[in-house]
């Protein structure tokens, strides 16, 4: 019983320490504004849409071992990360490296024609990427699996030049 009360006390204290941990953001140059802050789940969400050039990388896996590659994760690496808010000090400070794109179906629709996507699937590569101008909305940051994550929804993509890069060798895009 004593351990049960200790566990309850530690649980309550840990949630209180999260609420007391401030997050300090960089002096970002976009017009995004804070929409909401949830200290329980360590989420900060922003209003606004932002566009910048960069690279979208799609990680592919053969989850069910049927020989067909499926989308595991899509991420955007902006050329100018200073237009996006990122945590520079405070709880789990982490510079923005990539923005996970949560609407992967839309990523595929915006980046590829049906025939191009079938070629990508047939190539059986682990990664495919394209460079261009990307617009995102519903940008947010949270702490998951003991690391800070940044994510958003893609709204538009304009191709810089017609080039698709595919490879099997790239630093893995981890997730929980």
4-12: average pLDDT: 41
Report the SS3 class of residue 108.
helix
C-alpha span between 46 and 35 (Å, rounded): 5
Question: What is the reported pLDDT for 12?
Answer: 44
35-61: average pLDDT: 91
Per the model's pLDDT, the better-predicted residue between 176 and 87 turns out to be 87
Query: How many other C-beta atoms can be found within 10 angstroms of the C-beta atom of residue 72?
Result: 17
Q: 121-158: per-residue pLDDT in tens?
A: 888 888 999 999 999 999 999 988 888 999 999 999 99
Question: What is the reported pLDDT for 168?
Answer: 66
Question: What is the reported pLDDT for 10?
Answer: 44
Measured between alpha carbons, how far apart are the two ends of the chain, in Å?
33
């Amino acid at each position: 019983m004593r351990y049960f009360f200790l566990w309850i006390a530690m649980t309550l204290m840990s949630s209180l320490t999260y609420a007391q941990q401030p997050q300090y953001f960089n002096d970002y140059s976009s017009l995004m504004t804070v929409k909401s802050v949830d200290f329980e789940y360590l989420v900060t969400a922003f209003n606004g849409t932002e566009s910048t050039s960069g690279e979208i990388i799609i990680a592919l896996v053969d989850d069910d071992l049927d020989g067909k590659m499926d989308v595991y994760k899509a991420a955007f690496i902006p050329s100018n990360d200073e237009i996006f808010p990122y945590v520079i000090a405070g709880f789990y400070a982490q510079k923005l490296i990539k923005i996970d794109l949560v609407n992967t179906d839309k990523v595929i629709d915006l980046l590829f024609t049906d025939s191009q996507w079938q070629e990508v699937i047939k190539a059986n590569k682990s990664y495919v990427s394209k460079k261009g101008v990307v617009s995102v909305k519903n940008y947010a940051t949270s702490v998951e699996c003991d690391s800070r994550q940044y994510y958003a929804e893609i709204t538009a993509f304009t191709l810089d030049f017609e080039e698709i890069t595919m490879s099997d060798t790239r630093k893995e895009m981890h997730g929980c």
